[in-house]
């Protein structure tokens, strides 16, 4: 009957992970003898919701979004701690592996580990699609140290393959893979004109629409006003700043 409780799994996970974090913090502060009463109201770890939100945004955004180093490190440590706790309970015989509570905690742990891994996989996939674009200095700030290393190695190997298989047989003027000018751009870039579904979580104020996106004249063009709590189908470029700039973090989410 576990499937009947599936809608509340994320809530269960938040409580379990929060309890684990509270136990770890209490033990570190007051010693190993200190305990946290599981019957007390559990502290809700905001990192869980933040990770889920960033995962969804990354999944539906056409470009790589800024990497939250602190969030990923915190969630990795929490998941490692919960994994060790469950394994200790299983090995020491404190918990029946078939107990529904233990199964739910293990299931929720695997779900969150999947979300974290999928978040990182999505980012790596985007890097492999537009490597030259993200190698540019202005875009390097969006990436983690590991992602920058991966991207550099990936493009060096891919460029070497192109040179050995194709480019060396072309005239010297046609061998450059990074020519950029008004008429020719050899660098593939994400399509920020792509339409996305956006849920508005807080007031955004008035959004100016570029003249190229409307048939109205400049004098009659009205700014875009999005209502809090509503969902819209919009071009990504209109809400890009609310997903990439720290001061707007959490104001919108992609669905």
pLDDT at 139 over 70: yes
Instruction: List beta partners, residue 207.
Output: 224
The stretch 102-119 carries a mean pLDDT of: 93
What DSSP string runs through 96-138?
Answer: -TT-HHHHHHHHHHHHHHHHHHHHHHHHHHHHHHSHHHHHSHH
Given phi > 0 = left and psi -120 to 50 = alpha, else beta, which region is 227? beta
User: What are the tens digits of pLDDT across the range 193-221?
Assistant: 999 999 999 999 888 888 776 656 555 67
207-211, 227-231, 250-254: least confident range: 207-211
The stretch 222-251 carries a mean pLDDT of: 93
User: What are the tens digits of pLDDT across the range 34-83?
Assistant: 454 544 455 678 899 999 999 999 999 999 999 999 999 999 999 999 99
- Give the pLDDT confidence score for residue 123 in this predicted structure: 97
State which H helix or E strand residue 21 sits in. Answer: helix 9-30
CA 34/CA 206 separation, integer angstroms: 52
pTM for the whole structure? 0.78
pLDDT at 244 over 60: yes
3 state SS of 177: coil
Distance of CA 251 to the CA centre of its chain: 15
Is residue 15 exposed (0-12), middle (13-18) or buried (19+ Cβ within 10 Å)? buried
CA 49/CA 38 separation, integer angstroms: 21
End-to-end CA distance of the chain: 29
21-35, 97-111, 144-158 — most confident range: 144-158
């Amino acid at each position: 009957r576990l499937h009947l409780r599936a809608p509340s799994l994320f809530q269960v996970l938040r409580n379990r992970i929060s309890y684990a974090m509270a136990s770890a913090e209490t033990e570190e502060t007051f010693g190993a003898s200190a305990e946290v009463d599981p019957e007390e109201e559990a502290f809700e770890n905001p990192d869980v919701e933040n990770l889920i939100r960033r995962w969804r945004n990354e999944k539906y955004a056409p470009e790589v979004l800024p990497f939250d180093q602190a969030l990923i490190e915190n969630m990795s440590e929490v998941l490692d701690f919960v994994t060790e706790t469950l394994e200790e309970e299983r090995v020491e015989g404190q918990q029946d592996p078939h107990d529904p509570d233990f199964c739910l905690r293990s299931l929720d742990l695997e779900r969150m580990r999947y979300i974290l891994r999928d978040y990182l996989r999505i980012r790596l996939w985007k890097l492999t699609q537009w490597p030259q674009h993200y190698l540019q200095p202005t875009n390097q700030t969006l990436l983690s140290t590991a992602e920058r290393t991966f991207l550099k190695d990936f493009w060096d190997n891919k460029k070497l393959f192109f040179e050995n298989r194709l480019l060396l047989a072309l005239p010297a003027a046609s061998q450059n893979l990074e020519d950029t000018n008004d008429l020719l751009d050899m660098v593939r870039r994400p399509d920020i004109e792509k339409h996305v579904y956006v849920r508005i979580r807080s007031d955004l104020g008035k959004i100016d629409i570029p003249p190229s996106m409307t048939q109205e004249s400049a004098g009659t063009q009205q700014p875009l006003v999005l209502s809090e709590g509503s969902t819209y189908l919009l071009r990504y470029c209109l809400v890009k700043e609310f997903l990439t700039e720290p001061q707007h973090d959490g104001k919108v989410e992609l669905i």
